[in-house]
Amino acid sequence: MTALSVNLNKIALLRNARDIGIPSVAGAARTCVAAGAHGITVHPRPDQRHIRPADVYELADMLTVEFNIEGNPFAEPGGTYPGFMAIVREVRPAQCTLVPDDPGQKTSDHGWDLIADGDRVRPIVDELKALGIRVSLFMDPVLEQIERAGELAPDRIELYTEAYARACAEGDVEAVFNRYARAAAKAREVGLGVNAGHDLNLDNLARFCAIPGILEVSIGHALVSDALEMGLATAVRKYVEILRAESAGGSDG
């Protein structure tokens, strides 16, 4: 069964709109885990627009499920932000997803160009693996780039799925879906596990997870939006039900 890791960034974004500590990021994590989430994802950016370093440390102390910290490994210290790698070295999460985002981006919007940046990324991958952390690289569904990822030997890639989600919304998904299926197959061919995330939701998740070998999906914005209507625990259960049903169906796309 594909695992669900709930991204709590939007919970923290709402919390940060006031200085009274609600909604609680830790409380939301407890609710998600109790409802069946297999993991929790956070993205501590340098501007601390949502998840703050203190949130990361609190979650690390309390979580009983997989903790996935994502972000740019080259994000440097500044103000009260200790730097991305400093956070990861201290916390040592189960998984670290390396993302090539710039400080001013609204959200992650592209995968690594490992032909250009592979030599910079390689020692980060090696260090994290030496610390016992599973390493995932945020990647577009581009076969040449995924082959390069295989040379760097992370444990997994996370396919950036915004193009798939947009195709689903526009009703012309077949060619895009097949591109992601080929990308996932290439990743497995070069020895990498496959995660996925970005704009996956209740409407498009099942189809995507028909691709063989999707190990984990990270979902935040859509799930928190659903939670506004149905409650956080119910929203988590709805996503887990889709993943469970897809696993039981045994579809291979």
Q: Considering its fold, how many domains does the chain have in total? A: 1
What is the Rg, in whole angstroms, of the alpha carbon atoms belonging to the chain?
Answer: 17
Phi-psi region of 71 (alpha: psi -120 to 50; beta: other; left: phi over 0): left
Low-confidence winner among 57-66, 102-111, 225-234 (lowest mean pLDDT)? 102-111
Helices 25-34, 232-249: axis angle to 10 degrees equals: 40
CA 94 to CA 72: how far, in whole Å? Answer: 17
% pLDDT > 90, the chain: 92
Indicate the range of 16-25, 129-138, 229-238, 243-252 predicted with least confidence.
Answer: 243-252
Q: What domain range is 198 assigned to? A: 3-249
Active-site residue flag, 58: no
Tell me which of 70, 158, 216, 246 is the catalytic residue.
70
Q: Is the pLDDT of residue 195 over 50?
A: yes
Task: Judge whether 43 counts as a catalytic residue.
Answer: yes
**Residue 247: pLDDT band by 50, 70, 90 thresholds?**
confident
Nearest to 65 by CA among 251, 241, 236: 236
User: Is beta strand 39-42 parallel, antiparallel or unpaired with respect to 214-219?
Assistant: unpaired
**Residue 252 pLDDT greater than 60, yes or no:** no
CA distance 49 to 9: 9
Q: Which long-range contacts (CB under 8 A, 24 or more apart) does 248-251 make?
A: 251/210
How far apart CA 158 and CA 169 sit, in angstroms, is 21
Q: Is the pLDDT of residue 212 over 80?
A: yes
Residue from 38, 50, 158, 198 carrying the catalytic annotation: 198
Q: Quick one: DSSP state of residue 235?
A: H
Kindly name the residue from 38, 43, 50, 158 that is annotated as catalytic: 43
Mean per-residue pLDDT of the chain: 95
CA 223 from chain centre, in angstroms, equals 13
Residue 229 belongs to domain with CATH number: 3.20.20.70
pLDDT for the residue numbered 251? 46
Please tell me whether the overall predicted TM-score, pTM, comes out greater than 0.75 for this model.
yes
- Is the N-terminal amide bond of 73 cis, ω within 30° of 0? no
Tell me if residue 221 is catalytic.
Answer: no
